[in-house]
C-alpha cells in the first residue's frame, strides 16, 4: 500500500485518510483520519482535486490536498 498526499495520489483509486491539517471546515465535511474515499479527478494547472466521500463529491484545493496524507488501498 502506497502512502502519499491527496494531491499526488493516482486517480480512480480508493484511499484511506491518514492525516489532515487541523481545519474545522474539512472535519465538518466529514473529511477526517481513517475515512475511505476515492479520487475522481485532478484538474490541471494547480486546480483542485475532486474526491468522492460516501455519496458526495467534493473539490479540495491544491494547497489543502498537498497537506492531506493518504494510503492507497485499491
Quick: pLDDT tens for 13-68: 789 999 988 778 888 888 889 999 999 999 999 999 999 999 999 999 999 999 99
Instruction: Provide the β-strand partners of residue 4.
Output: 70
pLDDT of 23 reads: 75
pLDDT at 3: 84
CATH code of residue 52: 2.30.30.90
Range of the domain at 62: 3-72
Give pLDDT, residue 27: 85
Exposed, middle or buried by CB within 10 Å (0-12, 13-18, 19+), for 21? Answer: exposed
Tally the domains of the chain: 1
pLDDT at 1: 60
Would you state the pLDDT for residue 68? 93
Grid coordinates belonging to 48: 483542485
Model-level pTM?
Answer: 0.85
Amino acid at each position: 500500500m502506497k502512502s502519499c498526499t491527496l494531491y499526488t495520489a493516482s486517480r480512480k483509486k480508493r484511499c484511506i485518510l491518514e492525516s489532515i491539517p487541523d481545519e474545522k471546515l474539512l472535519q465538518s465535511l466529514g473529511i477526517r483520519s481513517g475515512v475511505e474515499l476515492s479520487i475522481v479527478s485532478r484538474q490541471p494547472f494547480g486546480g483542485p482535486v475532486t474526491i468522492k466521500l460516501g455519496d458526495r463529491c467534493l473539490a479540495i484545493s491544491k494547497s489543502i490536498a498537498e497537506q492531506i496524507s493518504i494510503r492507497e488501498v485499491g
